[in-house]
Amino acid sequence: MKKNLKNSIEFIYKKAGRNLYFSFPPNYFEDLDNAIFSKITTSKLSKKTGFKTPKSYFSDVENKILEKISKEQHQPKVINFKRRIIKLIPYLVAASIALFITFNSLIYREKKSITFDSLSKNDIELWFDSNTLNSSDIVTVIGDDFLEMNDFSFSKFKNENLENYLYNIDNQLFLDEKD
């Protein structure tokens, strides 16, 4: 009698407090409606796709794959020209941008630092050789006041005075100046 009681469901409930510790995944009841709907709908459909393969396809494909792999293994790695060019494009673009920036900054710096003092004698001579100057160019730069200057005008000197000067001049002075 005691043994019967121990095996009864009442005894289990008594010990476990009616809690059998069963659980279920979260959202189980929320998903259940959709799962039932899907089962009912798909139960009317065929499980066959209707797709076929050529005869002995699966026995042939194995060798085809292995053949392809061994071919690829024995082939040297060749990157075709187009792919190589495409791979190079980003580097070329980066290099040209870097060159552009470098040259631009060099030119800009040079432009900034050019002064009359920095010009060499050769530069000036070269410039004179390659450019023809006329009086109007000079007038543009230094003005036309000098045209009216008559410091060296001989009209002011009288012939007698000139003769006097030449007669009285000490030749030794010229010789000294030359030394």
- List residues binding other proteins (CB under 8 A): 27, 31, 34-35, 37-38, 41-42, 45-54, 57-58, 61-62, 64-66, 68-69, 72
C-beta of 23: minimal distance to other proteins in Å?
17
| In the complex, minimum distance from the CB of residue 16 to other proteins, in angstroms, rounded to a whole number | 30
Task: Identify whether the C-beta of residue 11 lies closer than 8 Å to the C-beta of residue 5.
Answer: yes
C-alpha closest to that of 135 among 127, 144, 126:
144
CA 93/CA 100 separation, integer angstroms? 11
CB of 83: closest distance to other proteins in angstroms? 16
Closest CB to other proteins among 34 and 134? 34
How many whole angstroms from its chain centre is CA 42?
Answer: 56
Q: What gap in Å lies between CA 116 and CA 104, rounded to an integer?
A: 22
- The H or E element that residue 123 is part of is helix 121-130
Residues 6+ apart with CB under 8 A from 16: none
Token pair for 52: 């076929």
Whether 73 and 67 have beta carbons less than 8 Å apart is answered as no
Nearer to other proteins, 37 or 128 (CB): 37
Question: Closer CB to other proteins, residue 55 or residue 112?
Answer: 55
Specify the residue, 24 or 167, whose C-beta has the smaller distance to other proteins. Answer: 24
Residue with smaller CB distance to other proteins, 1 or 78: 78
- Provide the minimum distance between the beta carbon of 14 and other proteins in the complex, in angstroms, as a whole number: 37
Amino acid occupying residue 43: S
